[in-house]
Amino acid sequence: MVQEYEHTHRNTEAGQPPQPSWIVSWLTLGVSVCLAGLYWHHAGIMKGMRSAADKQTELIESQKTLTQQNYLATHRPRLHIAGIFTDGPNAHDMGMTCVYIRNRGANLAKEVLFDAVFTIKIDDIKQPDWIEKLNPTIRHGLTEISRGETVTYPIRQDAYPSAFNGRKIQGGEQDLMLIGRVLYKDEGGILRNTGFGWKYDSSHDEFVRPEKEDEYNYED
């Protein structure tokens, strides 16, 4: 008691008011709490800003991807069967026969693969070797077709079914079709597919384009 009184008395004489130690402790604690609150508040703001930035980045990337997809969808190659030429049937084959393929799209068609086979129907019944030999993955013609370009693809010599008979085709006893497929890629590496199946008209000595798409005639 005497020492505390003397300490208080000396501080009073020096012009300093007494400062109990518990006040200082509470003040220190209060300041620490305020600083901690400011820190966590700042941390929360920064976390929110980072989260918003991440979402903005994801949105930008998503928009870029969508823009690229839209571009490829509207600026893509589109291979179209422009026509089929043939010398007409003789005893064993159709002579010189070739397919004209035109790129009606906006960009280059890459890695083009083509194949086609002749098929026969008798009384509307498919004859053996219908399209079993059709395999564009092993047939390499010209591998690129530019925008607006038309390219000629000849039919391979072993593309005939065993039932082929030129005389019967001319006489209408056999129905002849040329069925084929074209595979190609656009700038984005997307695989595209064009198919065709044109019937031979012996009265006009030509292959005729069907009026609408079906299982053989389509453009992807």
Domain boundaries of the chain, sorted by first residue: 1-74, 79-219
The predicted pLDDT at position 36 comes to: 67
- Over residues 24-65, the pLDDT tens digits come to 677 677 777 777 677 777 777 777 777 777 777 776 676 665
Q: How confident is the model at residue 194, as a pLDDT?
A: 97
Neighbour-count burial for 89-120, b at 16+ CB within 10 Å, e otherwise: beeebbeebebebbbebbbbbeebbbbbbbbb
Mean pLDDT of 110-132: 94
Q: What is the pLDDT of residue 22?
A: 67
User: Helix, strand, or coil here: 48?
Assistant: helix
Q: Determine the average pLDDT of the residues in 5-17.
A: 50
Residues for the chain: how many in total?
220
If pLDDT is split at 50, 70 and 90, which confidence band does 107 have? very high
Of the candidate ranges 15-29, 51-65, 143-157, 182-196, the one whose mean pLDDT is the lowest: 15-29
Mean pLDDT of 101-114: 96
Lowest mean pLDDT among 83-97, 126-140, 192-206: 126-140
CATH fold of 79-219: Immunoglobulin-like (2.60.40)
- Please give the single-letter amino acid code of residue 191: L
The Cα 10–Cα 171 span in angstroms is 135
pLDDT at 69: 57
Q: What is the mean pLDDT of residues 138-164?
A: 90
